[in-house]
Amino acid sequence: MNKVVSVNDYLKNFPHTSFRSNQEQVIEQVCNAFNSGYKYIILEAPTGFGKSAIAITIARALGSSYICTATKDLQTQYTNDYKLLKVAKGKSNFLCRVKEDFIEKGKYFCTSCNSGSENECRHTSCEYGPCLSDQSMEGTGCKYRTFINDYKTDNKGKENERTLINREKIEYYKTEYSNWIHLKNFDTPREWNPCYYFDQLFQALKASHSIFNYSIFLSLLTNKNMMQQRELLVLDEAHLLETEIVKFRGLSISKKRWRRYIPKFKMVDYGYDLDGWLDFLLDLEETILKLIGYDSLVYTLVKERKVKYGYDSKRKAKARNKRIVSASELFEDDSSLEIDIKSESGKNLHIHKELLIDIVQDIEKLTRTINNILSSPKNWIVSEVHKENYDVVRVELKPLDPSKYIRTIVEKCPKTLIMSATILNHKTFEKNLGIDSEENKTK
């Protein structure tokens, strides 16, 4: 049911003491459009107009929102200007507390970098936390790790809203922490505090209003239980959304990177032939999975692709009765793949844990791309074949039309505000986003 909010209710939620030129009129237009049943509002306004203030006004009036923007710097700008927003950033932005323990006590050493200096090592962030590679640290094994149900929101929707961990949970974690075998490495352990990454993520997911960059928002869409529906989705810098989708969905295979995993890795020159490169990707996937001990997953993927996409790996041809897979199902596939990989126990112990994390992340992206191509081969192209001395050193593949992936994003919330300073042709823009003004949903 469409939530109707009066113009006055919108205007009284304006976050500043005075309006800039035309801001008040734009808020009234957005209000009337949403109240008339429009689902998508496209706002094109120049830099300096104050689009972020418009977004915050609409978000506060409707009660809950996800705001997405292109960069971490813009996230910071939003949170500096509007304190009601909780920010969510990726794992690479946060120091792993387990590794921080060793660093503070002068006991840190990275076997992958062969260095004890945190300044020389690139594996100290949560992106390379032991929870991703050490079975004893997975889930509740890491006592710094918290979970989304640990958090509550007081005064929800009000100016003094607070998101925090339940007091009972804090006491529970402190007790668990005091008995943690990890602490035996240190004479004087620190007091318990939650993991930097998960704490800020769960606060953002529990709060009424939060801001993401496109990269982390796209990655979180795979988890429907975590990403609950809110009243409003704001897509800022929306002219970059198509680029972000292509970056997230596309694939780049470089000889330099993959030789870290497979020393004799070679790239065959298939030119711009998608079928040839698809065979190459399938062979690469099988090789790397077997290399790290996931042989059973190879069989599972072959079986699933035959059922879901009508693809027979032996014949290397698509069946006539190929089933069309929706974009929302593709996001679900990302999640199930990650779980399958993490549940495998045949990890190759001869590979450094940090390198294994890189391998698993690259396998996930490789497998996701293969599945995307199989589900919609006509929508994929080989966008670049880079050569050095006539040898292929990098190939890039991307979706030709990313609109079906974008449609899944803009349908996340009942109302979507799409903002940019450089839309140019709104009809083309709507088409690229997969939304249709003729359905009376876009204004």
DSSP line for 217-243: HHHHTT-TTTS---SEEEETTGGGHHH
Number of neighbouring beta carbons within 10 Å of residue 37: 11
Q: Are residues 201 and 255 in the same domain?
A: no
Q: Are residues 192 and 293 in the same domain?
A: no
Task: Please name the residue that has the structure tokens 């192209």.
Answer: 381
Let me know if residue 360 belongs to a domain: yes
Domain count within the chain? 2
Q: List strands edge to edge, sheet with 380-388.
A: 251-254, 391-399, 380-388
Triad 254, 260, 263: Cα angle to 5°: 95
The number of CA neighbours under 13 Å toward the Cβ of 137 is 16
Say what the pLDDT of residue 431 is. 80
CB 402 within 8 A of CB 433: no
Instruction: Kindly state whether residues 390 and 316 are assigned to the same domain.
Output: yes
Enter the tokens of residue 300.
Answer: 């599972």
Specify whether 282 is located in the same domain as 363: yes
pLDDT score of 325: 54
pLDDT of residue 213: 95
67 found inside a domain: no
Instruction: Give domain status of residue 363, yes or no.
Output: yes
Residue 49 token pair: 């107009």
Q: What is the pTM of this model?
A: 0.88
384 and 263 housed in the same domain:
yes
Identify whether 325 is part of a domain.
yes
Judgement on whether residues 184 and 319 belong to the same structural domain of the protein: no
**Identity (one letter) of the amino acid at 30?**
V
Domain boundary among 172, 205, 238: 205
Distance from C-alpha of 163 to C-alpha of 161, rounded to nearest angstrom: 7
In a domain, 419, yes or no: no
Q: Does 171 lie in the same domain as 294?
A: no
Q: Which of 399, 415, 435 is the last residue of a domain?
A: 399
Contact (Cβ atoms closer than 8 angstroms) between residue 150 and residue 165? yes
Residue type, 290: K
Residue 159 has a pLDDT of 83
- Strands (E) across 357-437 are located at 380-388, 391-399, 415-420
CA 198 vs CA 76, 144, 153, 343: distances in Å: 18, 9, 16, 21
Q: Report the distance separating Cα 326 and Cα 328, nearest Å.
A: 5
Residue at 302 is within a domain = yes
Buried b (16+ CB within 10 A) or exposed e, 76-106: eebeeebebbbbbbbbebbbbbbbbbbbeee
- pLDDT number for residue 158: 85
From the number of C-beta atoms within 10 Å of its C-beta (0-12, 13-18, 19+), residue 363 rates as: buried
Averaged pLDDT in 10-residue chunks for the chain of 443 residues: 83 94 95 94 93 97 96 94 96 96 93 85 94 86 96 90 94 96 92 98 97 94 83 95 91 97 95 97 95 86 90 57 52 51 52 87 94 94 96 96 85 92 82 69 66
State residue 327's pLDDT score: 52
Domain span at residue 103 reads 91-205
CB 118 within 8 A of CB 124: yes
pLDDT of residue 226: 82
Helix (H) or strand (E) holding 214: helix 214-220
Residue 323 located in a structural domain: yes
Query: Residue 321's pLDDT is what?
Result: 46
Looking at residue 16, its amino acid is H
Q: Are 195 and 275 in the same domain?
A: no
417 located within any domain: no
In this structure, the answer to whether residues 270 and 392 fall within a common structural domain is yes
Q: Which of 170, 188, 205 is the last residue of a domain?
A: 205
Number of neighbouring beta carbons within 10 Å of residue 187 = 7
Do 271 and 390 fall within a single domain?
yes
Q: How far apart are CA 295 and CA 301, in angstroms?
A: 10
Q: Which residues pair with 44 in a beta bridge?
A: 420
End-to-end CA distance of the chain: 19
Do 298 and 175 fall within a single domain?
Answer: no
Q: Are residues 255 and 393 in the same domain?
A: yes
